[in-house]
């Protein structure tokens, strides 16, 4: 178990160093900075949003990701699986009854 934790820590450190090392390459070049709209310059290469619909799509995706992240963290921290009617408890109770608790 300790060997897996050591390997996982090593992978996390390598990933973090990789992201930090290549961060300048991910940012926009001088030409792209000029072509980006105000407030979005220096974020990425290429052309920025070309109209209001692009902003609506982008912000809708941001809101959706934020809601998903919120509920993911909420149910990881407090899953509320203690209720007797929860599917986990129904399956466990049935399994324990049929197989003698094994």
pLDDT at 59: 92
pLDDT at 70: 96
CA-CA distances (angstroms) from residue 20 to 3, 23, 24, 43, 88? 26, 5, 8, 15, 42
pLDDT at 60: 97
Q: Where are the alpha helices (DSSP H) in 22-51?
A: 23-26, 30-35
Q: Where are the alpha helices (DSSP H) in 1-102?
A: 2-21, 23-26, 30-35, 52-77, 87-99
Model pTM greater than 0.85? Answer: no
pLDDT at 24: 67
- Per-residue pLDDT 10s for the chain (102 aa) are 677 788 888 888 988 888 777 666 667 677 777 777 777 777 777 777 788 898 899 899 999 999 999 999 998 888 777 777 777 777 766 666 565 554
> Is the four-CA dihedral 33, 38, 43, 48 of positive or negative sign?
negative
User: Where along the chain do its domains lie?
Assistant: 1-48, 50-102
């Amino acid at each position: 178990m300790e060997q897996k934790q050591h390997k996982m820590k090593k992978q996390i450190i390598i990933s973090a160093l990789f992201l930090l090392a290549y961060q300048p390459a991910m940012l926009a070049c001088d030409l792209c900075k000029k072509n980006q709209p105000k407030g979005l310059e220096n974020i990425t290469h290429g052309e920025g949003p070309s109209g209001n619909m692009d902003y609506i799509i982008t912000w809708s995706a941001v809101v959706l990701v934020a809601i998903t992240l919120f509920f993911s963290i909420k149910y990881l921290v407090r899953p509320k699986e203690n209720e007797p009617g929860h599917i986990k408890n129904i399956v466990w109770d049935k399994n324990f009854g049929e197989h003698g608790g094994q």
